[in-house]
Chain A
C-alpha cells in the first residue's frame, strides 16, 4: 500500500513534468519526482520494527540472541539515497541557474512564448 502511494506521488510529478508550460513549475515537478524516488528506495529497505543502523554502546554489547544485524534496517539503500539527495540539490541549483538565464534573455518563463520568440529570431 505504501509502495503504491509512493508510485502515485511519482506519477503526480511526471504528470506535472509533461503537461506544465511554466518553466518554474517544470522544475518543481522534477523536485517532486526526486523526493518520491528517494522515499521509494528507503521504503524498500525497511524491516519490521527495525532500528537505525547506528551502533551505540548499548547495542554493541547485546546478547547473541538479539543480534544487531538481526534487528537493524538495511544500511545500503540509505547510503545510496544520501548521495542521491545531495546530487538532487546540485541538480536543482543547475536547473534554477539555467531558468534564470532563460528569463534574462527572453523575459518570460512561459515555454510557448519562448518558442515563438526563438522562431521569430531565426527567421
Chain B
C-alpha cells in the first residue's frame, strides 16, 4: 500500500517538474492536470472517496479555466529560460525550508498511525462512534462538515461568494458599470 502511494507521488513530482520546465503552455497546463489526477487516485487509495470525486471534478474545471487563459487569448509559448539569480534565490529558500521541515519530522508519527489514536479523547472518535445517533447521516465526513463543524462550511461559502464577486467585478468593461452582457440585456 505504501509502495503504491510512493509510486503515485513520484509520478506527481515528475509531472510537476515537467509543468515548470517546459516552454509550451499547453503542455504545462496538462501536466498540472496530471498532478491533480494523481492526487485524486491517492485520495481513493487512502480511503477518502468524497475527496476523490471532488478533486477530479475540480481539476477538470481548473483545466478549462487555465486553457481559457492561455490558448483562448492566443499565448502559446513562454519565452526564455530561468535566470541564474532567480534560480539561486529560489533554491536558497527551498533548501532552508526543507532543512527545517526535515528536522521537525521527528515529531511526526509514522505513516499509518492516525492522529486520533494518539490523543486520548480526540473528537474524531466521538464523531465516528456516535455520529449515527447524533447527526443521523451515514456519511461521517458530511456529518462533520454540516453538523458538527457547520460553522466552517458557512465560512467557506462566504469565501466562495467573495472570490466570485471579486472575479465578476474585475470583468467589467473599461469605464463601464456593468458587464457587456448586462448592457445588452438592458437594451433589449
Contact = CB atoms under 8 A, between A and B. Distances in A.
Nearest to B37: A35
A122 interface: no
A86 interface: yes
A115 B12 CA distance: 33
B99 to A, nearest CB: 11
Contacts of A29: 20
Contacts of B132: 55, 60
Given A92-B65, A101-B170, A78 B25 contact: no
B141 to A, nearest CB: 5
A33 B170 CA distance: 25
Interface string B1-27: 010011001101100110110000100
B129 interface: yes
Contacts of B75: 24, 103, 109
- Interface of B, secondary structure class, is helix
B74 to A, nearest CB: 10
A68 to B, nearest CB: 6
B117 interface: yes
Contacts of B160: 86-87, 90
Interface of B: 2, 5-6, 9-10, 12-13, 16-17, 19-20, 25, 28-29, 32, 35-36, 39, 42-43, 46-51, 54-55, 58, 61-62, 65-66, 68-70, 73, 75, 78-80, 82-83, 86-87, 89-91, 93-94, 97-98, 101-102, 105, 108, 111-117, 123-125, 127-129, 132, 138-141, 144-145, 149, 152-153, 156, 159-160, 163-164, 166-167, 170-171
Interface of A: 1-9, 11-16, 18-22, 24-25, 27-29, 31-32, 35, 38-39, 42-48, 50-56, 60, 67-69, 72-76, 78-83, 85-94, 96-101, 103, 109-110
Smallest CB-CB A-B distances: 10 pairs = A19-B90, A90-B163, A18-B90, A48-B112, A69-B128, A5-B9, A73-B47, A53-B140, A16-B20, A97-B167
7 contacts: A11-B98, A18-B90, A56-B138, A68-B129, A69-B125, A72-B128, A82-B54
